[in-house]
A and B are shown apart, each in its own frame.
Chain A
Amino acid sequence: MRRNPGALFVAPALCLIAAFFLLPVAASFLLSLTDFDIYAVADLANLRVVGVRNYVTLLRDPLFWVALRNTVYFVAVAGPLSIIVSLAAALLISATAVRAKGLFRTLYFLPVVTGLVAIAVVWRYLYHPRFGLLNAALGLVGIGPLDWLGDPTLAMPAIILMAVWKNFGFNMVIFIAGLQSIPERLYEAASTDGAGTVQQFWRITLPMLTPTFVFVGVMAVVGNFQLFAEPYVMTQGGPAHSTLSIVLYMYEEGFRWWSLGYAAALALVLFAIVLAVTLLTRLRARNVFGGEAGPATGESAA
């Protein structure tokens, strides 16, 4: 203990991480080079090392492209939408004239802490074409009953809506922190200069929030690419594969059919995509991210 307390302190955590996270990740790579499937589970002699064949099959697999398209659709729409809604909520709450900030903040944040499965179950009923609340509300303004979870063009928007509802509170809190860090005197100076509220928003608020935007944006992208539980509970990837996400596809191939080799290849491709996106963002925002000196880069989705 005297010799190297630091090493001893980190040892348990590092060993666990190495054994149960890093090692499996490396093994995943190896697994993706084989055609490990249920036959191989029964008898390892049925295993074939197939090199990159899984990746070739993947690139030729129409379902993979469908899953990729769906996932990108989700990321491209849910991300910005969530950011806009959370920014709006943050602006509303941060307005100085508003009291009971804490109450509203709690209420808006509540969906974040609810479990995804329970919420997906609830929303599944909310989306029911005949008995669901959403269609009832739409019916009040004359919009006909929509088959949210049964229509391939509506299913992903339905999931996006639910995801935004669930997660906007989280980003809202981050935006609130960001807004609080903007010095008040900037606004005062602009007021005396005669700038209106809208101008102040565009000229002061948004630019000052850039680091927050980047942070929230990267987290959103990384998290949203891992879309799984919502389609799993609500639509099982349907209808007509319109809500099949990459992770859901990986789960189906891996844990439903036990084509572990192919599933590992899927997981690795997903990782490569996420990595590419993250690196791209980092390169573009390098002056904002300065390692320790800048905002913390907590990439994993909470």
Chain B
Amino acid sequence: MTRLRPLVHYRSVMCLVVAALALTGCTGGAEPPARVVRFWAMGREGEAVQGLIPEFERRHPGVRVRVQQIPWSAAHEKLLTAFVGGAMPDVFQLGTTWVPELAAIGALAALDTRLATAPSIPADDFFSGSRDANRIGDTTYGVPWYVDTRLLFYRSDLLARAGFDAPPADWRTWAAALTRIKEQAGPDRYAILLPLREWQPLVILALQRRAELLRDDGRYGNFRSPEFRAAFSFYLNFYQRGLAPSAPEGQIANLFQDFGAGFFAFYISGPWNLGELAARLPPELQDDWATAPMPAPGLVAGLSIAGGASLALSRGAREPEAAWELIEYLAEPATQIELYRRTGDLPARRSAWQDPALADNHHAQAFWTQLQHMQAPPKVPEWERIAAKITDYTEAAVRGDLDPDAALTGLDRDVDALLEKRRWLLDRNAHHQEHQRHQVEEIGTPAGAFNPTASRYDSRRGLAAFPQTATPWCPWCSWW
């Protein structure tokens, strides 16, 4: 008796095992018969873009789009992990500062041919700063989706109470306004929120000062330059004078609640918050906030970072044609306006700005001028790590663990270490080119399979000069 019963009991366990194994073969649900385009979108756009997909699917029957939403905080990591793991989506959104890195490792498809033959995407309809940010060397790797130029979001009522009826246009007025607001706010509130994890505000200030963040074609850090130092001191000042809280991001339980409550009066952020604030603040506060371009250091017009996001086509996309169609669709002015309506993201297509939705919006129009003056941070693949180092050392300086000079020295040292591989690769490439040149001069023929005009690593074109090897585990396979 006791022999038979367990047999039945464990048989059901085995059934479970078999069923589990069988289920693992499924990726969930009946597979759609059509071509599936996998699209990774980040942050707010990830949610909003779902509403844009039905129209695309209507126009392209037989194509289904699967949107996956990824938080910005994990996006860079996830893209790299997906690349290493061989599980990239077909189309994805990415920050423009990531384009050099992903292009260098061969994750992005070159888009020049497609763009040349796409009637709906004329090149000069994009802001030049965005266009430039997506080009590495002579190749374009991304299509600008929206432009993010950091703006000042501020409580106009608090600013008025401090005695300023117009948003500050230069650094000095800005500092004065913040000081006044802080005086009125008291010890428990602040004038401006500057999350220590964000590198963009500091880099914008530095770019405005015309600081060159890296020198020698991106071989070394240049953070001890006088321009960067000046921007750094100005930035540190906000914390040192108690104008900004030095708490990390996690302390703000609800950004919008705190903004509405007047916990801080200024915030440097992107256009996506236009939509968020409109949605999340109570109606009675909607007249009390406004946006303004970043104040300039002095006489020159304020510069901002050519940020924003681009759409990229994965090099290993399984449905490249359908994926490209999706990109084309999202790059249409009408779709961009629709995205703006849902999120507040500013279109990358200049023609989209003629639409009344934008032309009549005074919050948005404030940036039209600014968008003409954008600059990309250094286009090195290591940029994301360098940015993380910048925030590390800024935090150390804010907390007083390091004085500003020591912080910048440390930053330079760390960045130099990060760029060591890049220097080695550039030197190796230069060496190869020299070698090839000599061979051609002396012998008259290129050595072996090497084409002297297409070197292995070209600092202008990045490592994408050669496609990813199919079998990375055999070193000799990559020499062809």
Contacts and interface: CB of A to CB of B under 8 A. Distances in A.
Given A38-B105, A240-B396, A258-B80, A45 B251 contact: no
Contact of B399 (A41, A149, A235, A240): A240
Nearest to B398: A240
B250 interface: yes
A45 B248 contact: no
B251 A149 contact: yes
A46 interface: yes
Interface in A201-254: 234-235, 238-241
A41 B424 CA distance: 16
Interface residues of B, number: 40
Given A43-B466, A149-B248, A258-B84, A241 B392 contact: yes
Interface string B89-106: 000000000000100111
B475 A124 contact: no
A42 B468 contact: yes
Contact of A239 (B253, B395, B424): B395
A234 B251 CA distance: 11
A41 B77 contact: no
Contacts of A44: 469, 472-475, 477-478
B248 A150 contact: yes
B28 to A, nearest CB: 22
Interface stretch (A71-79, A128-136, A167-175, A178-186): A128-136
Given A42-B463, A44-B475, A46-B425, A238 B253 contact: no
Interface in B372-394: 381, 385, 392
B419 to A, nearest CB: 12
Given A44-B478, A45-B456, A235 B250 contact: yes
Contacts of A234: 250
Contacts of A128: 251, 253
B421 interface: yes
A124 B247 contact: no
Contacts, number: 87
Contacts of A46: 421, 425, 457, 463
B401 interface: yes
Most buried by B among A47, A129, A240: A240
B479 interface: yes
B81 interface: yes
A147 B421 contact: no
A35 B425 CA distance: 13
B421 A130 contact: no
A220 B167 CA distance: 57
B463 A39 contact: yes
A239 B463 contact: no
Nearest to A238: B248
A239 B396 CA distance: 9
A42 B253 contact: no
Given A240-B401, A241-B392, A258-B80, A150 B251 contact: yes
A111 interface: no
B106 A147 contact: no
Interface in A36-56: 37-39, 41-48
A9 to B, nearest CB: 16
A41 B84 contact: yes
Given A124-B250, A128-B253, A150-B251, A45 B478 contact: yes
A39 B157 CA distance: 51
A48 B83 CA distance: 21
Interface in A142-182: 147, 149-150, 152
B248 A256 contact: no
A257 interface: yes
A271 interface: no
Contacts of B456: 45
Which 3 A/B pairs are nearest by Cβ-Cβ distance?
A42-B105, A150-B247, A45-B478
Given A35-B421, A128-B253, A239-B196, 10 more contacts: A38-B80, A38-B101, A43-B472, A44-B469, A44-B473, A44-B478, A125-B253, A147-B251, A255-B81, A256-B80
27 contacts: A38-B84, A39-B421, A41-B83, A41-B105, A42-B104, A42-B105, A42-B463, A42-B468, A43-B106, A43-B466, A44-B472, A44-B474, A44-B475, A45-B475, A47-B475, A124-B250, A125-B253, A147-B247, A149-B250, A238-B248, A239-B196, A239-B248, A240-B395, A240-B396, A256-B77, A256-B80, A258-B80
Interface of B: 76-77, 80-81, 83-84, 101, 104-106, 196, 246-248, 250-251, 253, 381, 385, 392, 395-396, 399, 401, 421, 424-425, 456-457, 463, 466, 468-469, 472-475, 477-479
